[in-house]
Amino acid sequence: MACFSLYYSKNIVKHSTKSLGLDKKNLKEKIGWIKKYYVNIKRKCKKVPTVLIKRLGEHVGEEVFIQGWLYNLRSSGKISFLIVRDGTGLVQGVLVKKEVSDELVSLVGSLTQESSIIMRGIVREEARSVGGYEIQVTGVELVNIAEEYPITHKEHGVEFLADRRHLWLRTPRQNAVMRIRSEIEHAIREFFYQRDFVLADAPIITPAACEGTTTLFELDYHGDKAFLSQSGQLYSEAAAMALGRIYCFGPTFRAEKSKTRRHLMEFWMVEAEMAYFDINDNIKVQEEMVYYVIQRVLERCKQELKTLERDLTKLEKITLPFPRISYTEAVEILNKAGEEFTWGDDFGAPHETIISNYFDAPVFVHRYPTAIKAFYMKPDPENKDVVLGADLLAPEGYGEIIGGGQRIDDLKLLEQRIAEHNLPPEAFDWYLDLRRYGSVPHSGFGMGIERAVAWICGLDHIRETIPFPRMLHKMYP
Ligand code: 4AD
Ligand code: MG
């Protein structure tokens, strides 16, 4: 278009100079002037793009808009430094006061922390600046002036921050955790998609318990008793018989009155269920999934892991396959470590820490005592006192991140177990159909996303792994 206009105008000049009787020199001057004029117009007409801070590297030397919030403001006489955040990162805007209008200087001077602004300026590479780039500010548009912001740049207590979770999320550490969580969830979905698993979402309102009746949130379902789902597993088993290999991914609920750093009342679980998979096939797909997730985070979340000061060597040294030990071997480890632990008891958090400290990678503990596991777990044909289940314990004391196992596929045994666990048989009749019509060996597992995020991010407490945690006696905001 520009070329055409230039050509076109050249011809106009040629014709008009002819008719006006101008000489060649005069003509050259005129063409030069027109060329300059068009280049200027072109520059002026080019739209200034709005870009994400994360993508500034693609716009070095260009003028851009950043839509964000003022994170911090420093002034040193002739220059003001505006640190702006847009959710994707931080960037420093440099305002040289003598180069801009007095109005702009006074506007910037009046900005408060978290005021929303649109900053305009030219992108420069600057290794010493946060994020590696800087903006030479040419304009600032105020969108909203923020009231005095409660979360300042000094240290605040966790209680104070947790009460302001809706604002705490804006800080760089929380931003990094949320981005890693998002990457983890994305990687999991991709992992399953690549392996021909179908996403089959499970219901949240259920008429029956999956993981014991003591940890249920009860609902009134138009006069009937219903519960918030503890796990999508039972529905996943039906879906696996229909679709082969499936996964579900959604919120699950546990009402146990537990206040530990590993417990939430509402957490997200990814659950997979595979027809014709035994305990070993099940373990293999789990370790591949966890390994895939770790590699993805290491590859794509470098900046976030740095913000969290995560010790990367701990994640980098993890290799496949993960170690596997039996429950009985785990008890031996505990006893050797001086713990008084009796075969048949369930592990507490300190026990899991001792066991996992023996290994550099996550460790599978398999064949737990039948008595401490859920009703659906298949007994080991070689030893009926233990089940073909396995939990995955994360390193560095992060505890159990996955629970799973092979399911009972025999109708009579499953009926017997439902009775032994005092579960209402009517509620499980449909589930028993799966054993009546073409029952097959099958297995599955569930990974708590928040526990995985806490481990990968190296966080002390699970409350920072989900945007709005639901904990004992705490559901605000
Ligand atoms: O071990 P769980 O209870 O297993 C199940 O629910 C199976 N039905 C899963 C299956 O086989 N489809 O829970 C699985 C995982 C745990 O390993 C843990 O990571 C997480 O869910 N989890 C919790 N996370 C946070 N807060 C809680 N209260 C949790 N309870 C379990
Ligand atoms: Mg468990």
**For 234, phi and psi rounded to 5 degrees?**
-60, -40
* 211 alpha carbon – ligand 2 mean position (Å): 9
Q: Report the distance separating Cα 108 and Cα 201, nearest Å.
A: 50
Q: Which residue CA neighbors atom 7 of ligand 1 most closely?
A: 446
CB atoms within 10 A of CB 104: 17
Q: Report the distance separating Cα 359 and Cα 365, nearest Å.
A: 12
Q: Report the distance separating Cα 60 and Cα 51, nearest Å.
A: 12
Query: Which is it for the CA torsion 47, 48, 53, 59, positive or negative?
Result: positive
Residue 203: what pLDDT?
98
Q: Report the distance separating Cα 209 and Cα 252, nearest Å.
A: 12
* 276 alpha carbon – ligand 1 mean position (Å): 23
Residue 7: what pLDDT?
43
* 210 alpha carbon – ligand 2 mean position (Å): 12
pLDDT band at residue 186 under the 50/70/90 scheme = very high
Quick one: average pLDDT of 436-445? 98
In contact, 239 and 246? CB cutoff 8 Å: yes
| Ligand 1, CB cutoff 6 Å, lining residues | 210-211, 231, 233, 254, 263-264, 267, 269, 271, 400-404, 444-448, 450-451
Q: Classify 436 in phi/psi space as left (phi over 0), alpha (psi -120 to 50) or beta.
A: alpha
For residue range 284-337, what is the model confidence (pLDDT) as tens digits? 999 999 999 999 999 999 999 999 999 999 999 999 999 999 999 999 999 999
Quick one: average pLDDT of 105-112? 98
Q: Report the distance separating Cα 442 and Cα 389, nearest Å.
A: 12
Respond yes or no on whether the N-terminal peptide bond of residue 323 is cis (omega within 30° of 0): no
Quick one: average pLDDT of 353-378? 97
pLDDT band at residue 19 under the 50/70/90 scheme = low
* 162 alpha carbon – ligand 2 mean position (Å): 27
Q: Which residue CA neighbors atom 28 of ligand 1 most closely?
A: 263
Q: Which residue CA neighbors atom 22 of ligand 1 most closely?
A: 448
**Residue 449: both structure tokens together:** 């996303």
Quick one: average pLDDT of 152-163? 96
Q: Which of 358, 299, 289 is nearest to 321 (CA)?
A: 289
For residue range 232-245, what is the model confidence (pLDDT) as tens digits? 999 999 999 999 99
For residue 80, give the 3-state DSSP assignment.
strand
For residue range 243-285, what is the model confidence (pLDDT) as tens digits? 999 999 999 999 999 999 999 999 999 999 999 999 999 999 9
Kind of pairing, strands 63-76 and 116-125? antiparallel
Q: Which residue CA neighbors atom 21 of ligand 1 most closely?
A: 448
Q: Report the distance separating Cα 452 and Cα 83, nearest Å.
A: 32
Q: How is 109-128 classified by DSSP, letter by letter? A: HH--TT-EEEEEEEEEE-TT
**For 389, phi and psi rounded to 5 degrees?**
-105, 160
In contact, 169 and 161? CB cutoff 8 Å: no
Query: Which is it for the CA torsion 99, 102, 105, 108, positive or negative?
Result: negative
For residue range 59-104, what is the model confidence (pLDDT) as tens digits? 999 999 999 999 999 998 899 999 999 999 999 999 999 999 999 9
For residue 47, give the 3-state DSSP assignment.
coil
- The CA-CA-CA angle for residues 225, 228, 233, to 5°, reads 115
Of 7-21, 87-101, 386-400, the one with minimum mean pLDDT is: 7-21
Kind of pairing, strands 205-206 and 245-253? unpaired
Ligand nearest the Cα atom of residue 230: 1
Ligand nearest the Cα atom of residue 470: 1
**Residue 149: both structure tokens together:** 């912001």
Q: What radius of gyration, in Å, describes the C-alpha atoms of the chain?
A: 31
**For 437, phi and psi rounded to 5 degrees?**
-120, 90
CATH numbers and ranges of domains, the chain:
53-144 (2.40.50.140), 166-464 (3.30.930.10)
